[in-house]
Structure 1
């Protein structure tokens, strides 16, 4: 009998979320971001499920792109962090990958390279995120230089939004970031890409030639406050397990490590086959919601490596063998993440490989 911890992945929901993303910018192009193993959902399976809907995919690195090629994905694949060594350029050209360029060093390396096919380059402009990219006052010269190189066939201008998820502007606003794009990049014929998931869901001016949805494809909203678009998202990952034991605990007795939970009444505790070695956050606080047989209860005690415990006192019909949903279709990953001082991205990408992915809607 297999351990009952599984991550159920609904590919139909991922497809529906992509259709929503594309519908928000119907006159432009929408690629699918499948970096970090498709945010923990399985990049190969997700990419195949979206192959008939998207024109391109995006990943973080060449290793992720090569893995998709080897799995039979023939679409263009954008390397969001670009290349790390000049030696990668031959593979990028040969495989038809697209590469971000964010530094003068990368420009120099392209100019010195001998490639089999002209490159498609996504020039990154730093409009306020301050991680990667050319400053706006240097970006136009970089764009012109790229266009002049025989090694480059096409240039797309990209930037990344820092605060598109926020209700009130803390730090730089989306409007300010867009205004920082040089006027030359707003001219007809220049391909641009600004909108991530939050930009696509909540900022119409950020929708440009190319959109780059990531987290929204997997059914979690990045927005601080949901809107009519984000409420249409469908959860794609349901993290599930079962109750494997129950016991009564008397008042004053502890449950789990560290005596974090001490019973204030006689209570019935269920032990669930799920722990931090599976990717469930150890920092989950007391009271973090859990569904048992579809009914809401909460953690009781600290999460351990392979197990966690929940309070079943008020759910007398539950017991050993009861189904447990840790997050998913009926329990928002965002709600669970808030109890763990993290975000849904972290929950999804943190589910470890010892948890089997079971696919639906294949």
Structure 2
């Protein structure tokens, strides 16, 4: 938008010409008081619509319009900015210094502004639907994997209970005390494992229902607190911690602590048997997220199995070597995904493993 009139002309010579122009025009003296407004300015409800000559523009001196007027009157030059009137109309304002004060031209851009905002709102709605669609797909994938895992892992102890109950019945008929004791022991172990699996499933489900309470968290302090909690697991062992200075992240404190507990306890567990266990926690910030890596020198695993690690009840090592039900890493993935991040793992058999999760700066 260019100035409608030559700024060197005195406003007193322009009233009739100004009234012919379609854009609202406001003339001000050197003190910022009104000297003239054209007809379009009155019709368009500009700041001077209800004023008489000699009155200052209404509003707080700190308001954008008054600030621009004051600057142009003091320093000269011109200014261009957007102004919204009390009725909600938007104007593109061109303000310029004149020989006797200042001249402000208002151009109604309400239609363009509304269209831009509508387009922006539509784009945001589309992005929201995209995110929800991806979230629903991820949830559906989790449900399918969950159903398959449950059907497989819960059936195993049930088969033990059913099979050994039948053997127990036969042993009782044959009056074989030794066989009866063995069968009862297997049945008890199978029932206990089923109970543990069910408890783990309930805990896994609760993490999906926990409402996120996001806040800035000192990652270094939280790692030290989790280390302290895990002290009983490192008794009579040599464990060297390398917890470097870690940044502040945005996350839910309860859920992030669960992620760190699961990953650090895994590192402790899978370094059993090492003369000297080494566990390193490091973080790297990028433009939009922080990547946290927990690395150990434990037994590791085959890289081709990395994509399976975060499923429910997935175990890559025999239960008699390392205890657990295979729910910890699935919980880690669920929590990190809810924060808008990602989780991954790299390893080599016998050479340790590294687990990395990301936390967006603005989840």
Identify the structure with bigger relative contact order (alpha carbons < 8 Å, sequence gap 6+): 1
**TM over 0.5: same fold?**
no
Which bracket does the TM-score occupy, shorter chain normalised? Answer: under 0.3
What TM-score does the superposition give when structure 1 sets the normalisation length?
0.18
TM-score, normalization by structure 2? 0.18
Larger radius of gyration: 2
